[in-house]
Structure formats: structure tokens, C-alpha cells
């Protein structure tokens, strides 16, 4: 028998979450962001749930190729554009749309010999200070691109630094609108957080996003956890990570559990040993108290996460009269067989990180199945 850890992808949940984005931005087209192998879910596995999108956005050319191999003939956008001149040949061959964020990319385009009209998304650095032309450089970059015979259509884009937080997006929207006001072309501004939280910015600058670019919400995480939860946003988990109890131990009062003896029992308890560790992608820094479901009942991790195992407190199960032994189901995040669920955001929060990081870090050794219903 294989080791009992298993990830399950839920295409119906991805589809539900995509529809949730559409409700938040009913007039916009939707780029389903599937970078990082669909945030760890696997592009091929996520595709059936996300094929209702208007396009797929990602940044790895090999991933773009995989989307084409799935039979997707609609738009595919490279979010970081090309990295070297020969990437443009693939853009032409596979009809990829690409972001242009720097002069070097315009130089590459100018030197690219092609009969395939190029569709580009010209990126403004409106305050994130990562990729893009500054507001002062933006219009001349537009003119330069616009004069290239290779370029068929230019869309205008920017990316928000604080759509999930207190600062918000108004300052960036204002800069973007001020510079682009009279330029032709479609606009693409909103990530997940902006799509859900700022579809009607109160009294702020008008947010026109012809194309929204949701990523994390498609996979069921709240973009602004813990301010709001995935349930508040009516999102469903795209991934379940489950395993089983492989041993139990009776711990005496005063005895410790695991490496470093970081957990010391203040009363006699039973613990379950679960086949899941940091080599599976479970965060090693998750402390005692991190939530976990055993037989669908919420309990807590105790002691350190090790490479292949974690230990969990069985007290709540005993209190509920549920017997636990080798083979009992454990849900690290996502949905339990009983219908109970544990948000990946709650586990991430306990570990001081985000749902994004946990889903992307699912280890290659974990077998993955797709739920077919």
C-alpha cells in the first residue's frame, strides 16, 4: 500500500470559484491565473474546472505550451512577457499574448521577424515598484510599441500592491487613469483581492478593468484572510490534503512529544501520529495549536513538524466518543469525508504564511487525484 497521504483536486470547486469572480466583475473578461502549475493544483488537473475562463494567464513558457496542448485555443497571456528573443518565436507559433514591462522587451519585439500579429499588454509601474514602466515613461513606451509593424494591439495593465490590505488601490488607480486616460486599448488591473473587494471603490477613482486577473480565489483562498474567510467570500477549497493516522501514543503528564521536546503534556493525553510532514509540503514552522481535522473533528497539532510525520492531540475525539486508530482519516486542509472542512488559510495563518504558499509548496512525492464526483 502506498503511504496514505493524498491530495485531491476539486474541479467543481474551481468552477464555482470562477463563477464567483464573474459575479463580482460581471462586465469583465476573466484571465484565470494558472502560474506556478495552477498554484500547485496542476494545470492539467485544474483545466476542466477553469475552461470557462476567457483566457489563461501564467508566466512560464512551458506552462503556456501545456495549456495549448490541452486544446485551449483562446487567449494565453505571459504575465512577465518574454525573457529572451527566441521566446517571441514561441509567442508567434502558439499565439501567446505577452506583457511588455521594459525597454529591452520592446527592443526584442522590434527585432522579431514575424507575420503573426503580436498582442501585447503594456505594464505600468503605478506604485508596486516591481515590473513596469513608470508613469513618466509609459506614454513614450506606448508610442514606441504602437509604431512597430509587429504589434497588432496594445492593452494597458498595472498590478496592485495593497488590494488585500488597508492602503487599498485608489492611489494606483488614480495614477493609472491619469496617464492612460486618452489612450486606446483594453485595461487589465484587478487581481483576486481587487476583483472581490474593490469592484465598486467607494468615492475613489473609477476602476475600469476589461480583463480581471484572479488567481488565489479560483483555488478557494480568501485574498484578505483573516479579515475575511473563504466562507465569507463564498469560495470552495480547490484542494484537499488528507492522510491517515499511522500510530497512536499514550503520553504521560510531563512527557514531551517530538524533536526538541517543544511540547510537554500538562496532563495525560493520547496523540495520533499522521503520515504528513514537511517533505510533503506541510509547513515545518506550523506550531503547536495549528488546526487539523481527525475523522472530521477539529483538533490541534502538537510538537514539531518533522520530515514525514506530525503528531496531533486526540483529546477532542475522545471527548466526542469517536474512536481513533491506525487508518483514521486526517484532513490537513480542505474537505473531510464527513463534509467538515478546514480552510487552508487557517493552517497558513497558524504557520505565519498564506494559503498561496501552502498550495504552491505541495511536494512532488504527494500523489494527487482529481475528484470526479
Length of the chain: 373
CA distance linking residue 347 with residue 355, whole number of Å = 8
Of the ranges 212-220, 225-233, 235-243, 333-341, which one interacts with ligand PLP (CB under 6 A)? 212-220
100 neighbors 88 (Cβ within 8 angstroms): no
Residues 6+ away with beta carbon under 8 Å from 368: 6, 7, 8, 9, 42, 45, 362
User: Taking CB under 6 A as the criterion, which residues in 180-199 touch ligand PLP?
Assistant: 191-192
Give the nearest residue (CB) to ligand PLP: 215
Smallest gap, in angstroms, from Cβ of residue 44 to ligand PLP? Answer: 19
Nearer to ligand PLP, 87 or 308 (CB): 87
Smallest gap, in angstroms, from Cβ of residue 147 to ligand PLP? Answer: 26
The only residue of 43, 67, 79, 324 in contact with ligand PLP, by rule CB under 6 A: 79
Nearer to ligand PLP, 127 or 223 (CB): 223
Residue 169 interacts with ligand PLP (CB under 6 A): yes or no: no
Residue 172 interacts with ligand PLP (CB under 6 A): yes or no: no
Residue 350 interacts with ligand PLP (CB under 6 A): yes or no: no
Residue 207 interacts with ligand PLP (CB under 6 A): yes or no: no
Residue 216 interacts with ligand PLP (CB under 6 A): yes or no: yes
- From the CB of residue 204, how many other CB atoms can be counted at a distance below 10 Å? 14
Burial class (CB in 10 A: 0-12, 13-18, 19+), 2: exposed
Nearer to ligand PLP, 104 or 357 (CB): 357
Residue 81 interacts with ligand PLP (CB under 6 A): yes or no: no
Q: Is 303 left (phi over 0), alpha (psi -120 to 50) or beta?
A: left
Residue 125 interacts with ligand PLP (CB under 6 A): yes or no: no
Active-site residues: which are they?
35, 259
Of the ranges 15-23, 65-73, 114-122, 208-216, which one interacts with ligand PLP (CB under 6 A)? 208-216
Nearer to ligand PLP, 159 or 244 (CB): 159
211 neighbors 31 (Cβ within 8 angstroms): yes
CA distance linking residue 338 with residue 340, whole number of Å = 6
Nearer to ligand PLP, 39 or 278 (CB): 39
Among candidates 95, 104, 180, which has minimal Cα distance to 144? 104
Nearer to ligand PLP, 223 or 296 (CB): 223
User: Taking CB under 6 A as the criterion, which residues in 305-344 touch ligand PLP?
Assistant: none
Smallest gap, in angstroms, from Cβ of residue 18 to ligand PLP? Answer: 12
Mapped onto helix, strand or coil, the DSSP state of residue 335 is strand
Site string for ligand PLP, 24-43 (x = CB under 6 A): ---------x-x--------
Smallest gap, in angstroms, from Cβ of residue 140 to ligand PLP? Answer: 22
Residue 214 interacts with ligand PLP (CB under 6 A): yes or no: yes
Residue 159 interacts with ligand PLP (CB under 6 A): yes or no: yes
Cα atoms found within 13 Å of the Cα of residue 35, Cβ hemisphere only: 17
CA distance linking residue 83 with residue 284, whole number of Å = 34
Residue 221 phi/psi, 5° resolution? -95, 145
Q: Which long-range contacts (C-beta less than 8 Å, at least 24 apart) are formed by 104-108?
A: 105/81, 106/141, 106/144, 106/145, 106/148, 108/82, 108/84
Residue 220 interacts with ligand PLP (CB under 6 A): yes or no: no
CA distance linking residue 279 with residue 364, whole number of Å = 9
CA distance linking residue 213 with residue 211, whole number of Å = 7
Residue 22 interacts with ligand PLP (CB under 6 A): yes or no: no
Of the ranges 12-20, 207-215, 247-255, 277-285, which one interacts with ligand PLP (CB under 6 A)? 207-215
Residue 21 interacts with ligand PLP (CB under 6 A): yes or no: no
Question: Which residues of the shown chain bind ligand PLP in the complex (CB under 6 A)?
Answer: 33, 35, 79, 159, 191-192, 213-216, 223
Amino acid at each position: 500500500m502506498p503511504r496514505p497521504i493524498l491530495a485531491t483536486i476539486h474541479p467543481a470547486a474551481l468552477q464555482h470559484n470562477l463563477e464567483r469572480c464573474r459575479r463580482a466583475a460581471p462586465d469583465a473578461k476573466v484571465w484565470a491565473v494558472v502560474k506556478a502549475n495552477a498554484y500547485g493544483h496542476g494545470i492539467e488537473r485544474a483545466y476542466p474546472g477553469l475552461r470557462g475562463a476567457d483566457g489563461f494567464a501564467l508566466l512560464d513558457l512551458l506552462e503556456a505550451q501545456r495549456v495549448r496542448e490541452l486544446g485551449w485555443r483562446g487567449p494565453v497571456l505571459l504575465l512577465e512577457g518574454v525573457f529572451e528573443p527566441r521566446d517571441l518565436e514561441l509567442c508567434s507559433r502558439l499565439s501567446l499574448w505577452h506583457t511588455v514591462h521594459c525597454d529591452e522587451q520592446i527592443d526584442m519585439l522590434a527585432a522579431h521577424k514575424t507575420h503573426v500579429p503580436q498582442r501585447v499588454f503594456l505594464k505600468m509601474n503605478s506604485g508596486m515598484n516591481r515590473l513596469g514602466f513608470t508613469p513618466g515613461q509609459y506614454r513614450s513606451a506606448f508610442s514606441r510599441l504602437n509604431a512597430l509593424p509587429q504589434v497588432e494591439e496594445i492593452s494597458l495593465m498595472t498590478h496592485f500592491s495593497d488590494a488585500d490590505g488597508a492602503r487599498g488601490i485608489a492611489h494606483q488607480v488614480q495614477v493609472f487613469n491619469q496617464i492612460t486616460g486618452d489612450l486606446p486599448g483594453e485595461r487589465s488591473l484587478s487581481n483576486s483581492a481587487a476583483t472581490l473587494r474593490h469592484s465598486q471603490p467607494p468615492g475613489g477613482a473609477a476602476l475600469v478593468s476589461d480583463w480581471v486577473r484572479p488567481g488565489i480565489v479560483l483555488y478557494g483562498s480568501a485574498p484578505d484572510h483573516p479579515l475575511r474567510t473563504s466562507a465569507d467570500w463564498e469560495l470552495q477549497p480547490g484542494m484537499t490534503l488528507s492522510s491517515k493516522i499511522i500510530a497512536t501514543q499514550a503520553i504521560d503528564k510531563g512527557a514531551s512529544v517530538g524533536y526538541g521536546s517543544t511540547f510537554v503534556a500538562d496532563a495525560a493525553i493520547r496523540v495520533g501520529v499522521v503520515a504528513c510532514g514537511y517533505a510533503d509540503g506541510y509547513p515545518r514552522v506550523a506550531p503547536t495549536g495549528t488546526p487539523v481535522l481527525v475523522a472530521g473533528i477539529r483538533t490541534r497539532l502538537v510538537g514539531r513538524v518533522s520530515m514525514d510525520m506530525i503528531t496531533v492531540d486526540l483529546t477532542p475525539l475522545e471527548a466526542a466518543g469517536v474512536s481513533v486508530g491506525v487508518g483514521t482519516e486526517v484532513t490537513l486542509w480542505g474537505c473531510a469525508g464527513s463534509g467538515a472542512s478546514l480552510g487552508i488559510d487557517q493552517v497558513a495563518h497558524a504557520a505565519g504564511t498564506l494559503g498561496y504558499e501552502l498550495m504552491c509548496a505541495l511536494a512532488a512525492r504527494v500523489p494527487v487525484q482529481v475528484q470526479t464526483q
